[in-house]
Amino acid sequence: MAEVTSQGYNINEAAEKLNVSTRTIRRYIKAGKIRAIKIKGQFGEEYRILELPEDINGTIVDDEEENIDEMQKNVPADDSVSSLKIIMALQEKNLALAAQLGAATERIKALESQVQLLSAPKEEPPAEVKPEEPVKKSWWKRLFS
């Protein structure tokens, strides 16, 4: 186990020590790979990690260990660790991009509906029905009729 401080590590410090992202540390905590406690902080509750396991860099958050074992067979021994780090980084980037894509898709749908409302033909209000005025007859028709 790594060193233990009286206050423990916050998520940023733990991420720097383990050379992973803060998002990964949060996933490790949720998965139970890192034990953390919540304490009241200056801006609300925050996690404190009392112990950092030394072998955490070798663990994979997703349960795809079989796929990674197959990938390791195809990669030379020197590059396996760096390849795994690249794969994990790409997976995190993929998740972030998927979330952005979903948000962008929803925004596009909202904008399309607004465009349809704006481009729909406007209905003209019904014309007022004016009472018909009697047709005036010319003077000579009035005289001779």
- Lowest-confidence region among 9-18, 67-76, 89-98: 67-76
Quick one: pLDDT band at residue 73, thresholds 50, 70, 90? low
pLDDT digits (tens, 9 = 90+) for 11-20: 999 888 888 8
Q: Which residues pair with 81 in a beta bridge?
A: none
CATH fold for the domain made of 1-59: Multidrug-efflux Transporter Regulator; Chain: A; Domain 2 (1.10.1660)
Instruction: Delimit the domains of the chain by residue range.
Output: 1-59, 61-118
Q: Can you tell me the mean pLDDT for 56-85?
A: 56
What is the arithmetic mean of pLDDT over 10-32?
Answer: 89
